[in-house]
Structure 1
C-alpha cells in the first residue's frame, strides 16, 4: 500500500463531506480502490457504526434538494438508484404524494405562469411536468386549473 494514497475510509469520508451517500453508492465509487478483498466492507461497516453513513439522512438530503422541483415518481427513481432499502423509499414517496399537487403547481408557475393558449402549448406544459416525474392526474389538474383560472378572470372582466 502506498502511503501517499488516501485509505478507503479517507476516500469515503471525503465523498461524505460533499453530500450524503448511501452505502451502495460508496461501494460502487470505491470498489476500484480496494486492494484486499473485504477491506471496503470493513471500512464501510466502521463508518456506518459511527453514524457517518445513514440511509435516513440520504433520503432527507434528496427530498430537501429535489422535492421542490420534481415529482414523486422521479424522486423514487433517484432513491432507488442510490440502492436504498425499498421500504424506506416507499415511505418517503408516500409522504411526497400528499404534497404533489402543490409542488407541481409551483413548478408550473415558475416555468410558465400563464395558461396555455392552445392545445399544443397545453401538451408542452404537460410534457414538461411529466418529465419532472409528476403523476398524470396531478399534471391534468394543474394545467386544467390554470385554464379555468384564465376563463374565470375573462368572465369577470366581461
Structure 2
C-alpha cells in the first residue's frame, strides 16, 4: 500500500481482523501491522484505541496462550519465556503462572506418564526422564514432583 493512502481506519480494521482470528499481544499486533503498513503513526494510535476499548488485552492473550501450551504438555519455564518474547510484562506473567502453582506438578506427572508409562527402574532412566521434562520447560521443583507421587493407575 502507498503510504499516503493509509489511514487510521484501515489500520484499525486490519488489527481487528487479526484479533478476530486469535488473541494477540500488543507487541505481536504492532509487529504485524508495521510489517503490513510500515512505520506509520496510526499503528500506535490504533493499538492504544483497541486496548482502551478492551478489544486487545495482554492478560487475555497470556491466559489463552498458557492454556494452549499446557494442553501441549509444556511447562511454566518455557511458557514464561515465550510470553516474555511476545511482550507480555513480567509482573503479569508472575501472577498468571503462579496462580496455577498446583497445576504444574500434576501436568509434569501426566507428561512423564504419557511418554514413559512407568517410573524409572534406575538412576540412568530417571535422569533421562528428568531431561525430557526439562526440555518441555518444567521447573526443577515440578520435575521432582513428577517422581514423588504416583499417578492413579500407575
From the superposition, tell whether residues 36 and 139 of structure 1 become closer, same or farther in structure 2 (CA, over 3 Å): closer
CA–CA separation in structure 1 for the residues paired with 2:80 and 2:97: 6
1:91 and 2:88 are equivalent in the alignment: no
Deviation at 1:30, TM superposition (A): 1.4
| Higher alpha-carbon deviation: 133-142 or 22-31 | 133-142
1:132 and 2:136 are equivalent in the alignment: yes
**1:64 matched to which residue of 2?**
67
Contact 2:34 2:40 in 1 (8 A): no
CA–CA separation in structure 1 for the residues paired with 2:37 and 2:120: 55
Query: What secondary structure sits across from 1:123 in the alignment?
Result: helix
Deviation at 1:36, TM superposition (A): 6.4
The structure number with the bigger radius of gyration is: 1
- Report the TM-score when normalising by structure 1: 0.79
CA–CA separation in structure 2 for the residues paired with 1:129 and 1:85: 26
CA–CA separation in structure 2 for the residues paired with 1:36 and 1:145: 54
CA–CA separation in structure 1 for the residues paired with 2:38 and 2:103: 46
- Report the TM-score when normalising by structure 2: 0.81
**1:32 matched to which residue of 2?**
35
Query: What secondary structure sits across from 2:99 in the alignment?
Result: helix
From the superposition, tell whether residues 28 and 36 of structure 1 become closer, same or farther in structure 2 (CA, over 3 Å): closer
Deviation at 1:53, TM superposition (A): 0.4
Unaligned runs of 5+ in 2: none
Deviation at 1:26, TM superposition (A): 0.8
Unaligned runs of 5+ in 1: 151-158
Contact 2:134 2:143 in 1 (8 A): yes
Give the RMSD, CA atoms, in angstroms: 2.4
Count of matched residue pairs: 146
From the superposition, tell whether residues 119 and 11 of structure 1 become closer, same or farther in structure 2 (CA, over 3 Å): same
**Superposition map of 1:5-154 within 5 A:** 7-34=10-37, 37-68=40-71, 69-145=73-149
